[in-house]
Structure 1
Amino acid sequence: MSGSTHIRVLLIDPQPISLTGLHTILKGHPAMQVVGVAGDVDAAAARYQELRPDIVIVNVHTDPAEAVRSVDALSRYQPALPAPNVLVLTSDAAATASQVLRAGVKGVLSCSSTSQELTAAVRIIATGRSLLVPTVGQKRGDSPLGQLTDREIKVFTLMARGFSNAEISAELTLSQSTVKSHVQRIMEKLGLRNRVHAVIFAYEKKLVGANF
């Protein structure tokens, strides 16, 4: 991140209504600052050159190819520097993830995610870490993960990425006692012995990927 005390965000979204919504959510977070917005890739690339944000959020709606083009355009403006930290918002995270992650996107988040999930993702990706959040409606079928509630899936994902209870509490805006209760229930439901076992289990079930 830059030397600023805020995470500096550039938003790319061709739809004015959703762009306004994203801007409102992030503007209301004390640790974040929206430094620029753009309605298309070409405008965003110029703004990226000018502003050097910590993270770029690209709302692609239904077109993953647009996210790939966005990353390529942003990277061309600063070829000598590390790839930009890009978070893609999409209506179909499962279908989009494989395409955009190969292009260098740091994370993929469902458009149906809550504002808390969005700001948590921004904080994670601004540090250079990667993130792939399962969609709320993702079908878990007969997998052991089907025993978990959607909130427990979110807690377990962060557990598997090495987050402490205090860090999970901060990311999901939950009390530490609530997080502790979720962790205990997760371990019991999945028959896990400890957090190391939880990480192994999460990788085996592809809840998190090797790039984490």
Structure 2
Amino acid sequence: MAIRVLIADDQMMVREGFSVLLGAQPGIEVVGEAVDGRDAVEQVAALRPDVVLMDVRMPVLDGLAATRQITADAGATTRVLVLTTFDLDEYVYEALRAGASGFLLKDASAIQLAHAVRVVAAGEALLAPTVTRRLIAEFARLGGPSGAPHGRVDRLTERETEVLTLIAQGLSNAEIATHLVLSEQTVKTHVSRLLTKLNLRDRTQAAVFAYENGVRRVGD
């Protein structure tokens, strides 16, 4: 089945451009376009797309608030991929905390765009090294974890905690497998189990969780 995509951006040229690029990619179908955050929330409820390409700066309801509403639904399967003009956009960190599964630059090529949509639709997170560095910089500015480690961390085995720490560094499953001398399938199993135990949706949430709860600390 084709991956169903909703494009949310207040600029018509951006919406149409992404629509054309994605429409030409095999296995991807653009099912709608939203002109602001509120429109995006309403269309997600009606269309149930697999992925939303979400701009941050929009009228009526901004992309961050819309992302929170979309991902707050416990039964929702829609993933949010945030669109940003620069990789150091001040909203990237907040977008990840709001529940976004990753971010994408607006000048991305058709191949990059299609890859990002497929990665996020598959349940993975598009957590590029630039985003990881952004998270670290933000926590350094805030002074580290917001409080004591969350009690749920105690549910993790030593190996799962190790994997979580490496996820927070931005490593892929293949890189974690090489680092720990494990098979990639074993790493996938550890990732799946730790996400379930911590009640997290994906790797992006896991990275944020690791820093916020002191599993990984700035400067480690």
Instruction: State TM-score, norm by structure 1.
Output: 0.59
Q: In the comparison of the two structures, how many residue pairs are matched?
A: 146
Alignment of 1:189-208 (within 5 A): 196-197=178-179
Residue 87 of structure 2 aligns to which amino acid in structure 1? A
Find 2:27's aligned residue among 6, 27, 31: 31
Distance 2:204 2:38 in 1: 31
Find 2:56's aligned residue among 48, 56, 60: 60
Deviations 1:180-212 (A, max 9, x none): xxxxxxxxxxxxxx961399xxxxxxxx97837
Unmatched runs of 5 consecutive residues or more in structure 1: 139-158, 165-193, 200-207
Aligned CA distance change for structure 1 residues 40 and 11 (closer, same or farther; 3 Å): same
Deviations 1:89-132 (A, max 9, x none): 10123333211101110011112222211110100000121113
Structure 1 segments of 4+ aligned residues over 3 angstroms from their partners: 208-212
Measured after TM superposition, the shift of residue 44 of structure 1 is: 1.5
Measured after TM superposition, the shift of residue 75 of structure 1 is: 4.0
Find 2:121's aligned residue among 119, 126, 134: 126
Counterpart position of 1:19:
15
Residue 7 of structure 1 aligns to which amino acid in structure 2? I
Aligned CA distance change for structure 1 residues 133 and 120 (closer, same or farther; 3 Å): same
Query: What's the % identity of the aligned pairs?
Result: 31
Q: Kindly indicate whether the alpha-carbon contact (under 8 Å) linking 1:11 and 1:57 is maintained by their aligned counterparts in 2.
A: yes
Distance 1:163 1:11 in 2: 31
Alignment of 1:1-212 (within 5 A): 5-60=1-56, 66-75=62-71, 79-82=73-76, 84-94=78-88, 95-133=90-128, 160-162=171-173, 196-197=178-179, 211=206
Distance 2:99 2:204 in 1: 14
Distance 2:76 2:14 in 1: 29
Aligned CA distance change for structure 1 residues 124 and 36 (closer, same or farther; 3 Å): same
Distance 2:204 2:40 in 1: 29
Instruction: State TM-score, norm by structure 2.
Output: 0.57
Distance 1:198 1:209 in 2: 21
Measured after TM superposition, the shift of residue 134 of structure 1 is: 5.3
Residue 161 of structure 1 aligns to which amino acid in structure 2? S
